[in-house]
Structure 1
């Protein structure tokens, strides 16, 4: 295996997988960490590195969640910016309803894709005909 953290998501899963391998007569060896479970010292190092990898993943998860919470507190929601402002959306929906212009012409006029217009129309509750 290249690295221990590629084998499982947490220490219990790593231990279970390596135990299953050993039950079938297969010895585990990590190339990156130089861990070989064929001996007792290798098994100890395996458990220590697995525990540290799980700890690191949990720290990253906590930092990510804290960052998302801080962004929400600043008014960020993680969505992509809207292609059209509310006034443009209203005008585009009116043009689509009026049918004086084709969808391709409306999309060129506003500089958006046809799928953007169709998505906007479906989210607005207007019937797509």
Structure 2
């Protein structure tokens, strides 16, 4: 927002925000520019605090071994293992992935993750 206000100012225009905290803010005036800068700084601070809280929550859930949410997987690990055996037996990976209802890239990513998971245990 500050970059936008500076760009407008450099072009000889101003930004007028109506109804910001009960009054108008006109960035063409020194007082309006100061208020706009303060509001932008507060918005940035609030965004960073929110992001910090989300990351903290994700890290705590990850450390506790809890589910992080997201879309539930339609294809199970058992189905991926069976599909990998089909590919190893000569079936085209693209066809096997299509039969599972996923892209070839997703099939490769899931099979690699499964291999890494079982290789680490």
- What band does the TM-score fall into relative to the shorter chain? 0.5 to 0.7
1:93·1:121 contact (CA, 8 Å) conserved in 2?
no
2:79 equivalent to 1:91: no
Higher strand share goes to which structure? 2
The one of 16, 20, 40 equivalent to 1:50 is: 40
2:103 equivalent to 1:115: yes
Aligned equivalents of 2:103 and 2:41: distance in 1? 47
**1:32-51 counterparts in 2 under 5 A?**
33=20, 34-51=24-41
Aligned equivalents of 2:15 and 2:71: distance in 1? 44
Unaligned runs of 5+ in 1: 1-6, 8-13, 125-129
**1:62-77 counterparts in 2 under 5 A?**
62-75=52-65, 76=67
* TM-score, structure 2 as length reference: 0.60
* TM-score, structure 1 as length reference: 0.57
2:13·2:28 contact (CA, 8 Å) conserved in 1?
no
1:35·1:46 contact (CA, 8 Å) conserved in 2?
yes
Unaligned runs of 5+ in 2: 113-121
User: For the aligned residues, what is the CA RMSD?
Assistant: 3.4
Looking at both structures, which has the greater relative contact order when contacts are Cα pairs under 8 Å and sequence separation is at least 6? 1
